[in-house]
Amino acid sequence: MSAQVHVLASGSTGNATYVALGGAKVLVDAGISARRIQKGLESIGVAVSELDAVVLTHEHRDHVLGLGTLTRRHGVPVYARPAAWQAMKGKDKMEASCCRELPERLHIGGVDIHTFPISHDAADPVGFNFFHHDVKCSVATDLGFATETVVRALAYSDILVLEANHDVNMLEGGSYPWHLKQRILSNRGHLSNDAAAWLLAKLPKKKQTEVFLAHLSQENNRPQLALETVETILRSQSVGDEENNIRLLLTYPDQMTSL
């Protein structure tokens, strides 16, 4: 498979995922500093100037923090939904010529990039599918819940970056104020470990699927807990055998995770 996916960082403090497929080099979100993005890309032999585009899932700070420097210093084109541009804070710090409207379908370097709507408390949040020949890579984080549209969009992915944000018991018993707990648990909040597992269990899958568990909460989750929860539910549904194999990888806010 000729795809590379490197999650440079994932979590409430910042998100950025590098996808290289076909002739395209694309960053999904830029929610960490441009310096961290540059260092992360250089560690895998890629210069920021080689990026064809940044595509944005939505306008929240942990997905857009590095855009000002990326556009001013490097001239990287950035694609976002019109409503996201309108709602985005700090757009005035970006190079205006780099700010572009994200259509439902985008073609870059021989790769087809399709958006699909997700449920989150943002202006017009989306997930992404990347297609090149018979390879499909998908990114779906910041999901309040997995709609049937999301299930159809993620079906038969070779590589999937999927949110497993919190453990419900940790969140409910944790220190967050009640209004924030309600937001996270709502249909426009974030996907729990259990919800991520059940989504994976019901997805139509290829024989081999690589899954990054992403956007883990640092206060309301633990990497090993997320992994064990998802694995346990998948085993209970007989997912993960030789005919339907899923390989799970954990992502972190302060380090890169690669296939």
185-194: pLDDT as tens digits: 999 999 999 9
Q: Which of helix, strand or coil describes residue 58?
A: coil
Domain assignment of residue 215, given as a range: 3-258
pLDDT, one tens digit per residue, over 128-174 is: 999 999 999 999 999 999 999 999 999 999 999 999 999 999 999 99
Q: For residue 37, what is the enclosing H or E element? A: helix 34-42
Q: At which residue do the structure tokens 């997805």 appear?
A: 203
Number of domains in the chain: 1
Q: Which residue has the higher pLDDT, 1 or 45?
A: 45
Q: Using CA atoms, how far apart are residues 180 and 193, in angstroms rounded to an integer? A: 18
- Which whole number is the average pLDDT over 246-254? 95
Q: For residue 122, give the CATH number of its domain.
A: 3.60.15.10
- Which whole number is the average pLDDT over 36-45? 97
pLDDT at position 88? 97
Neighbour-count burial for 116-154, b at 16+ CB within 10 Å, e otherwise: bebbbbbbbbbbbbbbbeebbbbbbbbbbbbeeebeebb
If pLDDT is split at 50, 70 and 90, which confidence band does 243 have?
low
- Residue 1 confidence (pLDDT) above 80: no
| Residue 139, amino acid | V
